[in-house]
């Protein structure tokens, strides 16, 4: 499940992901990219600006194998 909130912070999107597969590698990757990201195990939360949204959303979709 992926939830995107495009109105919480002006100019930024909040993305929440709940999955049956571990999201730890994705959490670490986003943190290493300098994004405000967190979560544990099967939950991920990340906040991105509008300009990076498509790239980060694409990374999530690709990681989950939903392409």
8-54 per-position pLDDT tens digit: 889 999 999 999 999 999 999 999 999 999 999 999 999 999 999 99
- Asked whether residue 58 is domain-assigned, the answer is no
Note down the domain range covering 38: 2-48
- Asked whether residue 61 is domain-assigned, the answer is no
* 56 pLDDT tier (thresholds 50, 70, 90): very high
pLDDT at 7 (0 to 100): 85
Neighbours of 26 (CB within 10 A): 22
Domain count, the chain: 1
- Asked whether residue 25 is domain-assigned, the answer is yes
Q: Are 2 and 11 a contacting pair, CB within 8 Å?
A: no
Angle subtended at Cα 28 by Cα 64 and Cα 44, rounded to the nearest 5 degrees = 50
- Asked whether residue 7 is domain-assigned, the answer is yes
- Asked whether residue 67 is domain-assigned, the answer is no
pLDDT at 43 (0 to 100): 98
- Asked whether residue 63 is domain-assigned, the answer is no
């Amino acid at each position: 499940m992926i939830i995107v909130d495009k109105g919480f912070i002006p100019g930024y999107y909040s993305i929440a992901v709940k999955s049956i597969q571990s999201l730890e590698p994705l959490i670490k990757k986003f943190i290493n990219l300098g994004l405000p990201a967190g979560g544990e195990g099967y939950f991920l939360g990340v906040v991105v600006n509008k300009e990076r949204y498509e790239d980060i959303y694409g990374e999530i979709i690709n990681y989950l194998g939903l392409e």
